[in-house]
Amino acid sequence: MLYINFEHPFDQLRKLALSLNADFKEFQDSAILTLNNDLGKGHVTTYNVLEGLNVRIYDITFNEEFKLTKMEQDPSIIYFLYCIKGHFFHKFENQEDYTKIYPRQNVIYSSAPKSPNIVTFPANVHLRLSAIFVKSVTKPSNSKRRTILESALDDITSFIQKDNPFSYYGEISPVTSKYAKILIDNNRTDAVGKLLVEGAVINTLASQVEHHDAAKEEAQIGFPLTNSEILKISEVAEYIAENIDQSLNIDHLSKTFGLSPKKLQAGFRHLFGESLGNFITHLRLEKGKELLQHTDLNISEVCYKIGFSSRSYFSKTFSERFGLLPSKFKNSLSSDDLVYELTYKSTMSDGIQLSDIEDIIEEAEPRNQEHNITGCLVCQNNNFFQLLEGPKSNVLYIYEKIKKDPRHYDLEILTRKINSNRFFPQWSMALLSEKDELKDTFKDRAVDLNLDTESILQGDNLHISSTVFWRRVLNMIKASKA
Task: Indicate the SS3 state at residue 402.
Answer: helix
Q: Which residues make Cβ contacts (< 8 Å) with residue 178, sequence separation at least 6? A: none
Q: So what's the pLDDT on residue 89?
A: 93
> Cβ distance 43 to 35 under 8 Å?
yes
Mean pLDDT, residues 115-119: 82
The full set of domains in the chain, from first to last, is: 2-221 (2.60.120.10), 227-332 (1.10.10.60), 339-481 (3.30.70.100)
Q: So what's the pLDDT on residue 458?
A: 46
User: Which of 35-44, 220-229, 325-334, 337-346 has the highest average model confidence (pLDDT)?
Assistant: 35-44
The residue that leads in pLDDT, 24 or 427, is: 24
Whether the pLDDT of residue 362 is over 60: the answer is yes
Q: So what's the pLDDT on residue 433?
A: 45
Nearest partner of 81 among 58, 65, 63, 97, judged by Cα: 58
**Amino acid at residue number 206:** A
Instruction: Give the Cα separation of 136 and 160 in Å (integer).
Output: 12
Q: In this structure, are strands 126-134 and 78-85 parallel, antiparallel, or unpaired?
A: antiparallel
Could you read off the pLDDT of 279-303 as tens digits, one per residue? Answer: 888 888 888 888 888 888 899 999 9
Q: Give me the chain's average pLDDT, please.
A: 76
Nearest partner of 127 among 65, 79, 179, 195, judged by Cα: 65
Whether the pLDDT of residue 238 is over 70: the answer is yes
> Cβ distance 247 to 307 under 8 Å?
yes
Q: In this structure, are strands 383-390 and 167-172 parallel, antiparallel, or unpaired?
A: unpaired
Task: Indicate the SS3 state at residue 220.
Answer: helix
- 41 Cα distance to chain centroid: 14
> Cβ distance 55 to 49 under 8 Å?
yes
Q: So what's the pLDDT on residue 481?
A: 40
Whether the pLDDT of residue 390 is over 80: the answer is yes
Whether the pLDDT of residue 307 is over 70: the answer is yes
Mean pLDDT, residues 371-385: 80
Nearest partner of 464 among 419, 420, 414, 424, judged by Cα: 414
Could you read off the pLDDT of 319-335 as tens digits, one per residue? Answer: 887 778 888 888 777 66
Task: Indicate the SS3 state at residue 155.
Answer: helix
Strands (E), 7-134: 23-26, 30-37, 40-50, 53-62, 66-70, 78-85, 88-92, 99-101, 105-110, 117-121, 126-134
Q: So what's the pLDDT on residue 456?
A: 41
Q: So what's the pLDDT on residue 457?
A: 43
Instruction: Give the Cα separation of 331 and 325 in Å (integer).
Output: 10
> Cβ distance 344 to 412 under 8 Å?
yes
Instruction: Give the Cα separation of 48 and 54 in Å (integer).
Output: 5
Q: So what's the pLDDT on residue 131?
A: 92
> Cβ distance 74 to 108 under 8 Å?
no
